[in-house]
Amino acid sequence: MGMEGEALRARNDALRGEVDALLATFEEQQREFAQAQARLATATVTAWSTDNLVRVTANSAGVPTEVHLEPEAFKRSTPEKLGNSITEATQAAAAQAAAAAQAAFSAVERLGTEIPDLPDLVPGAPSIKDLVRTLLEPDAAAVAPEPVEPDPEAEEEYYRNRSYLEGGR
């Protein structure tokens, strides 16, 4: 029992060391996560449309908090073009917010690679790393489509008939 007891004690000590390391990594991950959340709670991003007529400021979730139109937007653009510019700037701000969130949580994700995953410990268990990865990766559907260029002839007709003065009627 002496040799067997020593081997059991050694395995127990080794396992205790692994558990202690896992707990330390988990606690560090919790701290990093809390810090990232605190940074994102007050973070904002700003994006401009390519024609520089629209500026959108959004929070870290990508929700617009301010939309600014340059004064010359009403002179240099049609409602259709201005709508496209607003959409473009809003989508760009949302993409920037997603990138900022991903960057903020990258330290947490990095720490997660240093510890074993649940299937490593319990065969057949779901992967926590895969779950975290899906939460941190930007949604492919959120990628902004290319803005549609309005028809120049329709724009000319719009200004020639002065329909902008009549509210489009």
In the chain, the DSSP E strands lie at 44-48, 54-59, 64-69
d(CA 145, CA 136): 21
112-130 per-position pLDDT tens digit: 666 666 677 667 777 767 7
Query: Which residues pair with residue 58 across a beta bridge?
Result: 45, 64
Q: To which CATH superfamily is domain 2-166 assigned?
A: Nucleoid-associated protein YbaB-like domain (3.30.1310.10)
72-123 per-position pLDDT tens digit: 998 888 999 999 999 999 999 999 999 988 888 776 677 666 666 667 766 7
129-150 per-position pLDDT tens digit: 777 667 656 554 455 556 556 6
d(CA 43, CA 56): 14
- Per-domain residue ranges for the chain? 2-166
